[in-house]
Structure formats: structure tokens, C-alpha cells
Amino acid sequence: MAFSIYQASIPVFIRQLGHLGAILNKAEIYAASKKIDPSVFLNDRLAPDMFPLTRQVQIASDAAKGAGARLAGLEVPSFSDTETTFADLQARITKTIDFLKSIDPAKLEGSEDRIVNVKLRGNELALTGQAYLLHISIPNFYFHITTTYDILRHNGVDLGKADYLGNP
């Protein structure tokens, strides 16, 4: 079977965003059960120079919707980064998943060889769709999902590998 950039991207993003939503739900329940102000989790970071949890979720969302749009030749939807609650983050995840589901798989056909222009830390990069997906987009997406998981796990939320990977 030939490499399908659609199968390697959109369903992967949708699935993992669903797991992210479930992880955030567990965190919200944990915070309530322990009478911890949710902002403790939402504003926490692993190191002083890292983004807080809310920004980690926003960037994961941006990575997924940005990849889907760029690979499909669509304009990347702009979401304001104003989330301050678990409910706000869940709504953003839902909005991202809805956008990804709206992308016609046919729009991604041939995008593995199409040039994708992206701005990364002030530098303009021109990459093939496949290189962009495999070397920039997916690693960035998973980095921010993993960092969200790590922040919550560090704060005592009962999470394990099954929460991160989900059911096959």
C-alpha cells in the first residue's frame, strides 16, 4: 500500500486530540475531588521557561489544524488563544476536531510532494508536504500533547500510558 498522507495525519490528529480531551477531563475531576483550584493545573509548567498547560493545548490544536489545512491547501483557521478553563480547552479541542473532520481526504492527495511554506521561529521554510508532516508537524503536535500529560502527571493526576495511547 502506498503512503497516504491523509491516513498519516488527519485520523492521527483526531484520535490523539480525543485522548487529550479525556486526559483533561480526568484532571478536572481530580482537581474537584481534591478541592484544588483548576487554575493550579491550567497555569502550571514543567520549567520556568516553558509554556503553561493552557498554551500546550493551544499549540497542539494549532499544530493539528495547521497541518490539516496546509496539506489540504486550505487557509489555516485562526482560533483566539483565550482559553482559561478546562471547559474552554475542551471546546477548542472539539472545534479543532470538527475542522479536521471537515477536510475532504481528496484535498490531501498528492500533498506529500507539494511544497508547504511554514514560518518557524521567524524563519520561512519550504518543505514537501511529507517532510513537513513527518519532521515538523507530528513531532511538534506530540511534544505539546506529551508536555500536557507530564504537567498533569507531575501534579498527581492518575494518568498512565493507556490514557495517552488510548485503545487501538
What integer pLDDT is reported at residue 148 of this predicted model? 98
Q: Are the beta carbons of 159 and 23 closer than 8 angstroms? A: yes
Q: Are the beta carbons of 115 and 46 closer than 8 angstroms? A: no
SS3 16: helix
What integer pLDDT is reported at residue 88 of this predicted model? 98
Task: Kindly report the length of the chain.
Answer: 168
Q: Are the beta carbons of 71 and 9 closer than 8 angstroms? A: yes
What integer pLDDT is reported at residue 36 of this predicted model? 97
> Any idea which fold 10-165 has?
Four Helix Bundle (Hemerythrin (Met), subunit A) (1.20.120)
Q: Are the beta carbons of 13 and 68 closer than 8 angstroms? A: yes
What integer pLDDT is reported at residue 130 of this predicted model? 94
Phi, psi of 119 (to 5 degrees): -100, 125
Report angle CA 17, 1, 67 to the nearest 5 degrees: 30
Q: Are the beta carbons of 68 and 100 closer than 8 angstroms? A: yes
Global confidence as pTM: 0.94
What integer pLDDT is reported at residue 167 of this predicted model? 74
Q: How many helices (H) and strands (E) does the chain have?
A: 7, 2
DSSP secondary structure of 133-151: IIIIIHHHHHHHHHHHHHH
Block means of pLDDT (10 residues each) for the chain, 168 residues, are 85 97 97 97 96 98 97 95 98 98 95 89 90 95 97 96 84
- Cβ-based neighbour number of residue 47 at 10 Å: 6
Q: How far is CA 159 from CA 24, 51, 165, in A?
A: 10, 21, 11
- Spatial CA neighbour of 118 closest among 104, 101, 106, 135: 135
What integer pLDDT is reported at residue 1 of this predicted model? 57
